[in-house]
Chains A and B, each alone.
Chain A
Amino acid sequence: SQKIEQNSEALNIQEGKTATLTCNYTNYSPAYLQWYRQDPGRGPVFLLLIRENEKEKRKERLKVTFDTTLKQSLFHITASQPADSATYLCAHRTSGTYKYIFGTGTRLKVLA
């Protein structure tokens, strides 16, 4: 079955450094991958979408890459700030269905 995997261990980094989160997928080739941010006690909020034919997508301090050979997407936050602390989810929606598949998310903590 289609599966998205994210590192369940929390990632702690120092303020100002670049945070890199990983999303791996198995048993399928998504045409799009989405990244969401979730703060404690709140619903996920959409951040970025990357298409399979895009190697890289940027939005302000955020960068997402998509490597179809490795079956992996990387999510980078440059010049990280304590306000970036949250759980980040990757997700995929299969063409032809209405369902989304979410990873379990990786919790990021940026230390001041």
Chain B
Amino acid sequence: NAGVTQTPKFRVLKTGQSMTLLCAQDMNHEYMYWYRQDPGMGLRLIHYSVGEGTTAKGEVPDGYNVSRLKKQNFLLGLESAAPSQTSVYFCASSPTARPQESQYFGPGTRLLVL
């Protein structure tokens, strides 16, 4: 099993450009998450999904959109990138809603917005 994979690994954007980050998991997990990680801020939840076709806002959703058309994929979109969106983005998944369930993380996407 590949676990959680993310595409691309690194990207440079100009202000105002758009892009989509792809997350895929092959563990048949119901729950998927997008985080951003910035120095001193820790992991902050952007959006999450509790199942195919459903999405919900997290802590810092502004400027991002998501879609979960297939259970195994969770896409994060930036419609008009801003320098404040320079960050490392992590996708994660978990199998159930139980509070003792851990998360499985992807390797991250490093995004630089100029």
Contact = CB atoms under 8 A, between A and B. Distances in A.
- To the question of whether A and B form a pair in one complex, the answer is yes
Interface of A: 8, 30-32, 34, 36, 41-46, 49, 51, 89, 91, 93-95, 98-100, 102-105
B45 A100 contact: yes
Given A100-B45, A102-B43, A105-B42, A45 B99 contact: no
A49 B102 contact: yes
A42 B107 CA distance: 5
Given A43-B105, A43-B106, A98-B97, A104 B92 contact: no
A91 B37 CA distance: 14
A44 to B, nearest CB: 5
A95 B107 contact: no
A36 B45 CA distance: 16
A34 B90 contact: no
Nearest to B50: A98
Interface of B: 4, 31, 33, 40-43, 45, 48, 50, 56, 58, 90, 92, 97, 99-108
B52 to A, nearest CB: 15
A104 B40 contact: yes
A98 B40 contact: no
B102 A94 contact: no
Contacts of B105: 43-45
Given A93-B101, A99-B45, A43 B107 contact: yes
Contact of B108 (A43, A45, A94, A105): A43
B33 to A, nearest CB: 8
20 contacts: A30-B99, A31-B99, A34-B102, A36-B102, A43-B106, A43-B108, A44-B90, A44-B103, A45-B105, A46-B104, A49-B100, A51-B100, A89-B43, A91-B103, A93-B99, A94-B99, A102-B43, A103-B42, A104-B40, A104-B42
A-B pairs, 5 with minimum CB distance: A43-B105, A104-B42, A46-B102, A102-B43, A95-B99
Contacts of A98: 31, 48, 50, 56, 97
